[in-house]
Amino acid sequence: MDTSLYLRLAVSKDKEGILSLAKQGIEIQRPEDVIKNTYTLEFLNLPELDRYTEGDLEQRIIDNLQIFLLELGKGFTFVGRQYKITVNNVQYHVDLVFYHRILKCFVLIDLKKNSVKHEDIGQMNMYLGYFAIEENMPDDNAPIGIILSKNKDELLVEYATYGMDSNLFVAKYELYLPNRKDLERLVANILNNND
Protein backbone atom coordinates (compact mmCIF):
# COMPACT_ATOMS: atom_id res chain seq x y z
CA MET A 1 0.00 0.00 0.00
CA ASP A 2 2.79 2.45 0.93
CA THR A 3 4.52 2.03 -2.43
CA SER A 4 1.27 2.10 -4.46
CA LEU A 5 2.08 -1.43 -5.65
CA TYR A 6 -1.64 -2.09 -6.06
CA LEU A 7 -1.95 0.81 -8.54
CA ARG A 8 1.12 -0.25 -10.50
CA LEU A 9 -0.21 -3.82 -10.70
CA ALA A 10 -3.67 -2.61 -11.71
CA VAL A 11 -2.46 -0.57 -14.67
CA SER A 12 0.39 -2.82 -15.80
CA LYS A 13 0.18 -5.39 -18.57
CA ASP A 14 3.32 -7.07 -17.13
CA LYS A 15 2.09 -7.99 -13.65
CA GLU A 16 4.80 -10.64 -13.10
CA GLY A 17 7.49 -8.11 -14.01
CA ILE A 18 6.09 -5.57 -11.55
CA LEU A 19 5.89 -8.16 -8.77
CA SER A 20 9.46 -9.26 -9.50
CA LEU A 21 10.69 -5.68 -9.29
CA ALA A 22 8.76 -5.16 -6.06
CA LYS A 23 10.44 -8.19 -4.50
CA GLN A 24 14.02 -7.52 -5.62
CA GLY A 25 13.93 -3.73 -5.66
CA ILE A 26 14.91 -1.55 -8.56
CA GLU A 27 18.45 -0.78 -9.58
CA ILE A 28 18.89 2.95 -9.98
CA GLN A 29 20.90 3.72 -13.09
CA ARG A 30 18.86 6.29 -15.05
CA PRO A 31 16.56 9.19 -14.17
CA GLU A 32 13.57 7.09 -15.26
CA ASP A 33 14.42 4.66 -12.44
CA VAL A 34 13.63 7.25 -9.75
CA ILE A 35 10.80 9.30 -11.25
CA LYS A 36 7.28 8.15 -10.49
CA ASN A 37 4.28 8.83 -12.68
CA THR A 38 2.18 9.77 -9.66
CA TYR A 39 3.22 10.84 -6.18
CA THR A 40 0.84 10.35 -3.27
CA LEU A 41 1.00 13.29 -0.88
CA GLU A 42 -1.69 12.14 1.54
CA PHE A 43 0.56 12.89 4.51
CA LEU A 44 0.26 16.64 3.76
CA ASN A 45 -3.38 16.66 4.94
CA LEU A 46 -4.35 19.32 2.40
CA PRO A 47 -8.02 19.74 1.57
CA GLU A 48 -9.05 18.02 -1.65
CA LEU A 49 -10.83 21.18 -2.75
CA ASP A 50 -9.00 24.15 -4.23
CA ARG A 51 -8.55 25.79 -0.85
CA TYR A 52 -4.78 25.60 -0.86
CA THR A 53 -2.07 27.50 -2.73
CA GLU A 54 1.22 26.36 -4.24
CA GLY A 55 2.84 28.06 -1.24
CA ASP A 56 0.71 25.93 1.12
CA LEU A 57 1.73 22.83 -0.81
CA GLU A 58 5.41 23.74 -0.58
CA GLN A 59 5.19 24.60 3.13
CA ARG A 60 3.46 21.31 3.95
CA ILE A 61 6.16 19.42 2.04
CA ILE A 62 8.87 21.23 4.03
CA ASP A 63 6.97 20.55 7.28
CA ASN A 64 6.87 16.85 6.34
CA LEU A 65 10.23 16.67 4.59
CA GLN A 66 11.23 13.29 6.01
CA ILE A 67 8.03 11.65 4.73
CA PHE A 68 8.33 13.47 1.38
CA LEU A 69 11.87 12.12 0.97
CA LEU A 70 10.48 8.62 1.53
CA GLU A 71 7.80 9.27 -1.13
CA LEU A 72 10.50 10.42 -3.57
CA GLY A 73 12.48 7.25 -3.00
CA LYS A 74 16.03 6.14 -2.32
CA GLY A 75 19.00 8.48 -2.71
CA PHE A 76 17.42 11.94 -2.43
CA THR A 77 18.95 14.60 -0.19
CA PHE A 78 17.43 18.03 0.42
CA VAL A 79 19.35 21.08 -0.81
CA GLY A 80 16.93 23.98 -0.48
CA ARG A 81 13.59 25.61 -1.12
CA GLN A 82 12.92 28.72 -3.20
CA TYR A 83 16.47 28.26 -4.47
CA LYS A 84 17.45 31.58 -6.01
CA ILE A 85 19.08 31.73 -9.42
CA THR A 86 19.90 34.90 -11.35
CA VAL A 87 19.90 35.17 -15.14
CA ASN A 88 20.72 38.59 -16.65
CA ASN A 89 19.97 40.34 -13.35
CA VAL A 90 16.52 38.69 -13.13
CA GLN A 91 15.93 36.43 -10.14
CA TYR A 92 14.04 33.16 -10.39
CA HIS A 93 13.24 30.67 -7.66
CA VAL A 94 13.18 26.90 -7.98
CA ASP A 95 10.55 25.61 -5.55
CA LEU A 96 12.54 22.63 -4.24
CA VAL A 97 16.07 21.44 -4.98
CA PHE A 98 17.39 17.99 -4.08
CA TYR A 99 20.55 16.10 -4.89
CA HIS A 100 20.39 12.43 -5.83
CA ARG A 101 23.38 10.64 -4.32
CA ILE A 102 23.19 7.56 -6.54
CA LEU A 103 22.64 9.33 -9.87
CA LYS A 104 25.00 12.15 -8.79
CA CYS A 105 22.79 14.98 -10.01
CA PHE A 106 20.58 17.81 -8.87
CA VAL A 107 16.83 17.20 -8.93
CA LEU A 108 14.72 20.33 -9.34
CA ILE A 109 11.03 20.25 -8.45
CA ASP A 110 8.50 22.87 -9.51
CA LEU A 111 5.09 22.60 -7.82
CA LYS A 112 1.86 23.35 -9.67
CA LYS A 113 -1.52 23.45 -7.94
CA ASN A 114 -3.45 22.72 -11.14
CA SER A 115 -2.48 21.66 -14.65
CA VAL A 116 1.00 22.12 -16.04
CA LYS A 117 1.24 24.69 -18.85
CA HIS A 118 3.71 24.85 -21.72
CA GLU A 119 5.41 27.89 -20.18
CA ASP A 120 6.05 25.87 -16.99
CA ILE A 121 7.94 23.33 -19.10
CA GLY A 122 10.00 26.09 -20.74
CA GLN A 123 10.81 27.55 -17.34
CA MET A 124 11.96 24.17 -16.01
CA ASN A 125 14.10 23.68 -19.10
CA MET A 126 15.79 27.03 -18.32
CA TYR A 127 16.39 25.91 -14.72
CA LEU A 128 17.99 22.69 -16.00
CA GLY A 129 20.29 24.67 -18.30
CA TYR A 130 21.29 26.99 -15.46
CA PHE A 131 22.08 24.13 -13.08
CA ALA A 132 24.01 22.21 -15.75
CA ILE A 133 26.22 25.23 -16.47
CA GLU A 134 26.38 27.14 -13.18
CA GLU A 135 25.80 24.67 -10.32
CA ASN A 136 27.11 21.28 -11.46
CA MET A 137 30.53 20.13 -10.36
CA PRO A 138 32.74 18.42 -12.99
CA ASP A 139 31.73 14.93 -11.80
CA ASP A 140 27.98 15.69 -11.58
CA ASN A 141 25.57 14.30 -14.15
CA ALA A 142 22.97 16.40 -15.94
CA PRO A 143 20.25 17.71 -13.59
CA ILE A 144 16.75 16.27 -13.54
CA GLY A 145 13.65 18.46 -13.55
CA ILE A 146 10.26 17.38 -12.24
CA ILE A 147 7.16 19.49 -12.61
CA LEU A 148 4.75 18.11 -10.03
CA SER A 149 1.18 19.07 -10.89
CA LYS A 150 -2.34 18.14 -9.79
CA ASN A 151 -3.36 17.46 -13.40
CA LYS A 152 -1.37 16.38 -16.43
CA ASP A 153 -2.44 16.75 -20.05
CA GLU A 154 -0.36 14.05 -21.78
CA LEU A 155 -0.71 15.57 -25.25
CA LEU A 156 0.32 19.05 -24.12
CA VAL A 157 3.33 17.59 -22.30
CA GLU A 158 4.32 15.57 -25.37
CA TYR A 159 4.21 18.62 -27.65
CA ALA A 160 5.78 21.03 -25.13
CA THR A 161 8.73 18.69 -24.45
CA TYR A 162 9.30 17.75 -28.09
CA GLY A 163 13.04 17.76 -28.76
CA MET A 164 13.85 18.81 -25.19
CA ASP A 165 16.15 17.27 -22.64
CA SER A 166 14.95 13.81 -21.65
CA ASN A 167 15.69 14.68 -18.00
CA LEU A 168 12.59 16.88 -17.80
CA PHE A 169 9.59 15.04 -16.37
CA VAL A 170 6.01 16.02 -15.64
CA ALA A 171 4.41 13.96 -12.88
CA LYS A 172 1.08 14.11 -11.11
CA TYR A 173 0.40 14.24 -7.43
CA GLU A 174 -2.68 13.07 -5.62
CA LEU A 175 -3.64 14.34 -2.21
CA TYR A 176 -5.39 11.14 -1.15
CA LEU A 177 -5.30 7.49 -2.07
CA PRO A 178 -8.48 6.34 -3.78
CA ASN A 179 -11.12 4.97 -1.43
CA ARG A 180 -11.86 1.26 -1.48
CA LYS A 181 -14.85 1.52 -3.86
CA ASP A 182 -12.95 3.66 -6.38
CA LEU A 183 -9.98 1.28 -6.22
CA GLU A 184 -12.20 -1.78 -6.74
CA ARG A 185 -13.87 -0.05 -9.72
CA LEU A 186 -10.45 0.84 -11.21
CA VAL A 187 -9.18 -2.73 -10.85
CA ALA A 188 -12.42 -4.18 -12.28
CA ASN A 189 -12.25 -1.85 -15.31
CA ILE A 190 -8.64 -2.78 -15.98
CA LEU A 191 -9.31 -6.50 -15.63
CA ASN A 192 -12.35 -6.25 -17.94
CA ASN A 193 -10.31 -4.35 -20.54
CA ASN A 194 -7.51 -6.95 -20.48
CA ASP A 195 -9.86 -9.85 -21.31
Convert the pLDDT of each residue in 10-35 to its tens digit.
Answer: 545 565 655 555 555 556 667 777 77
Overall average pLDDT of the 79-104 stretch: 95
- DSSP-derived secondary structure letter, 34: T
Q: Which amino acid is at 8?
A: R
pTM: 0.74
Flag whether pLDDT at 184 surpasses 80.
no
Range with the poorest average pLDDT among 61-65, 87-91, 164-168: 164-168
For position 128, what pLDDT does the model report? Answer: 95
CB proximity list for 6: less than 8 A, separation 6 or greater: 183, 187
Grade residue 2 by pLDDT with cuts at 50, 70 and 90.
Answer: very low
Kindly give the residue spans of alpha helices, DSSP state H, lying in the chain: 5-11, 15-24, 54-63, 65-72, 118-130, 154-160, 180-194
